[in-house]
Amino acid sequence: MKKLPKRYERFIFALLMSFGTALIVSGAITFLHNAPAAIFIEIWLSSFLTAWPIVFLSISLIAPQINKLIKILVESN
């Protein structure tokens, strides 16, 4: 399988992390708000599609700053 160039690493990380995060959080919130079982998936999908772009932009903007902070707080060998 051909791999993507290293320059896409941050974008791919944000894309995959935001997908997983938005999927889990939107599902949990939909469940906690007692969505009827018959339409749970429909409500969850709608919530996920709203949340994913927001989470993606958040991770894209915040991750570089958090990485800088981690480098300050954590010892490097």
Arithmetic mean of pLDDT over the chain: 94
- Residue 53 clears pLDDT 90, i.e. is over it: yes
The pTM of the full predicted model, rounded to 2 decimals, is 0.83
- Residue 36 clears pLDDT 90, i.e. is over it: yes
What are the start-end ranges of the H helices in the chain? 9-32, 40-73
Q: Provide the sign of the torsion angle of the four alpha carbons 20, 74, 76, 67, taken in this order.
A: positive
- Residue 51 clears pLDDT 90, i.e. is over it: yes
Confidence of residue 60 (pLDDT cuts 50, 70, 90): very high
Provide mean pLDDT across the span 33-51. Answer: 95
